[in-house]
Structure formats: C-alpha cells, structure tokens
C-alpha cells in the first residue's frame, strides 16, 4: 500500500503515519518527493485495510498496490485449472467451445425428457435447469423445488447428462449437491458469503456467476471464499452487469473474460441468455464469447418458449439452437 500525504505535511504528521504502520506490524518506508511525501507499506501479508490510515492527519489517499486474492491468482498458480465434468473440460484449449444448455426452469417430466433427448441427440453432455428460482417478485414462479431436483435426477440417469442447477441457501445445498454435477451460485448470491463457504466445503464443482454490480476483483474474491474452504473446482460465469445501457437486460462485459484469463487460472464461461434477455441476440453474443476466448457457453434452450414458465423470451428454440451449433461448427 502507498499512503499519500498532503503537500508539505509537517514532520509530525508523517511520523504519526509511520508509527501507525508499525503498529500493524508492517514496515513503513517514507519517500520524500519534491513537495509531498508518500509512505510505502511493506511486509504485509494479504492486503492492509486502507481505512486504518485514511483518517490520520495529513493523509490524502491510501492506494492498494497488490490484489487482495491469492488462491485464485495466476501470479501464484500459473497453470490453468481444468474442471472436468462428464467428459467435458472447462479451462483447456479446446477445439470446440463446451456448451451447457437447457431450459431456465424445470417444469415437468415431459419437458425434461424432451429436452434431454434433444440435447443428447446433439452431443451436448451437460444440461442446465433451475429447480429453485430466485425471482424478483414473490408472486412469480419460484421453481418446482425438490420435485424439480427429482426430475433432474431422472433426466441425468436416463440420458447420461451431467446436471447444473442452482442452490439458493444452506437448507437446500445438501439436496442440490446430491443431484447436481455442478452446483450453480447465482448472480444475486455472489456475495452471499455464507453460501460461498458452504460451497467451498462441498465436493462438487461450483459455477459462480458474476454479481450484477461486481467488479472483477470482487468476483475473484468470491471465488477465493470457495477455494479457501478447500474446493478448487470453480467455473466462473460472466452473465452481464448492470449499467445505464437499456437495450439488453444486462450489459455483457466480454472484456471481463480476457481479464479473468489473465488474472486467474480458473476457467470462465459466458451466459449470453441472461445478459441479452432476448433470444435473438443470444447467437451473435455466443459467437462473440467464443471470439474473446471464453471456456464455455451456458445457453437457454426451450422446446416451446411461448409456454415457458420463466424467461421464454431469452430461450432459443431447438431450431435456433441448431443454427447456433452450426455457426459454432459443432
């Protein structure tokens, strides 16, 4: 950390800061400049809290120099982490980009069976489907809950598909974990640290969506929670952030993929469906995601979007899904 003093700060102010740094068992290193002094803070393990110094007389700013994450950092762990699920590898240089597909919500066995068959026929090996749905309105369809998990279990067994589904609290994590091959933590829960710790103690890979207003640093810190509890298998998922931009539901931030690939060894995939909010933009955004180097795609597919119980507008029909596979040369 660097502590910047005001111009011509008197010696007493500088000395007081130096003492405060020492009190934190860190080594202060004052650097006198032309008209102002800055004080480097050395020897800290992890990051030092700037708030410890910002209020001291004469201090103008405290600037963090090192990133606050460790286990997820590529600086410390240079090789890619590869998460393998049902023969699909996330984080490897693949010829084909891995696809996870399926409906927003589990609705019925009839639906699950039909979509499971369709995915299997197309060589898709991982299926998504929500049993517990976090919804903005308490009056909206909240998912089939445990009944939905049973249907996912059945589709998994019948078609040999791996399953991704979301856990929303401690109470249902055990049950979700028993069924899912990958447990999803949704954007709204990205900073639900209690849930992240639970995921870290679990044995299943975790799909961690980026929060709607999370910086890349905060997103990686959320992954750090999971790794710090012992679970190394985290797949990050960019799904759009909230901005003033109103032509899509969220603003898909594809640069985040390139930045995460640089900062971290974890695989990072893209969910164009939730970002766009409209099916017609899912195909171009999927191609863009492949272009930027994403380690996979998470795409909503529904056999009859008009009858979907949630998010029909962003779901691809099978026909459009085939068009996407074709454009991806899969």
Residues 239 to 258 in contact with its own copies, rule: CB under 8 A: 241-248, 251-258
Which listed residue (11, 93, 306, 319) binds its own copies by CB under 8 A?
Answer: 306
Cβ proximity to its own copies: between 133 and 156 the closer is: 133
How many residues can be counted in the chain? 330
Assign 3-class secondary structure to 143-196: CCCHHHHHHHHHHHHHHCCEEEEECCCHHHHHHHHHHCCEEEECHHHCCCHHHH
d(CA 175, CA 42): 46
CB 318 within 8 A of CB 303: yes
- Residues within window 71-90 making contact with its own copies, judged by CB under 8 A: 75
d(CA 225, CA 202): 12
- Three-class SS of residue 236? strand
Which listed residue (21, 225, 234, 236) binds its own copies by CB under 8 A?
Answer: 225
Cβ proximity to its own copies: between 82 and 328 the closer is: 328
**Stretch touching its own copies by CB under 8 A, among 83-91, 114-122, 147-155, 169-177:** 169-177
Q: Which phi and psi (to 5°) does residue 118 adopt?
A: -60, -40
4 binds its own copies, rule: CB under 8 A = yes
193 binds its own copies, rule: CB under 8 A = yes
- As given in the structure block, the two tokens for residue 162 are 């791996």
- Residues within window 128-167 making contact with its own copies, judged by CB under 8 A: 134-140
**Minimal distance, residue 129 CB to its own copies, in Å:** 17
- Residues within window 259-298 making contact with its own copies, judged by CB under 8 A: 259, 262, 275-276, 278-281, 284-285, 287-293
Cβ proximity to its own copies: between 29 and 122 the closer is: 29
Cβ proximity to its own copies: between 40 and 82 the closer is: 40
d(CA 90, CA 92): 6
């Amino acid at each position: 950390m660097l502590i910047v003093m005001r111009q011509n700060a008197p010696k007493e102010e500088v000395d007081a800061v130096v003492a405060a740094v020492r009190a934190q068992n860190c080594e202060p290193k004052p650097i006198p400049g032309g008209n102002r002094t800055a004080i480097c803070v050395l020897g800290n393990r992890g990051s030092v809290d700037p708030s410890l110094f910002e209020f001291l007389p004469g201090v103008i700013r405290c600037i963090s120099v090192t990133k606050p994450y460790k286990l997820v950092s590529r600086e410390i762990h240079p090789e890619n982490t590869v998460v393998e699920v049902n023969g699909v590898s996330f984080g490897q240089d693949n010829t084909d980009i891995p696809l996870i597909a399926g409906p927003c919500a589990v609705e019925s066995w009839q639906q699950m069976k039909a979509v499971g068959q369709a995915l299997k026929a197309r060589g898709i090996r991982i299926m998504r489907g929500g049993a517990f749905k976090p919804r903005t309105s308490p009056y909206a369809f909240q998912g089939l809950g445990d009944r939905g998990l049973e249907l996912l279990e059945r589709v998994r067994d019948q078609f040999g598909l791996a399953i991704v589904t979301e856990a929303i609290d401690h109470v249902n994590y055990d049950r979700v974990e028993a069924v899912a091959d990958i447990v999803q933590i949704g954007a709204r829960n990205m900073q639900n640290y209690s849930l992240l710790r639970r995921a870290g103690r679990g044995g299943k890979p975790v799909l961690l969506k980026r929060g709607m207003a999370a910086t890349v640093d905060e997103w990686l810190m959320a992954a750090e929670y999971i790794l710090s509890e012992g679970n190394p298998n985290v797949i990050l998922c960019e799904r759009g952030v909230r901005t003033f931009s109103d032509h899509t539901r969220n603003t898909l931030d594809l640069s985040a993929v390139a930045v995460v690939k640089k900062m971290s060894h974890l695989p990072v995939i893209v969910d164009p469906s939730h970002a766009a909010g409209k099916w017609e933009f899912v195909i171009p955004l999927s191609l863009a995601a492949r272009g930027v180097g994403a380690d996979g795609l998470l795409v909503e597919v529904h056999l009859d979007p008009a009858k979907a119980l949630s998010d029909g507008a962003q779901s691809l029909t099978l026909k459009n899904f085939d068009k996407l596979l074709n454009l991806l040369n899969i």
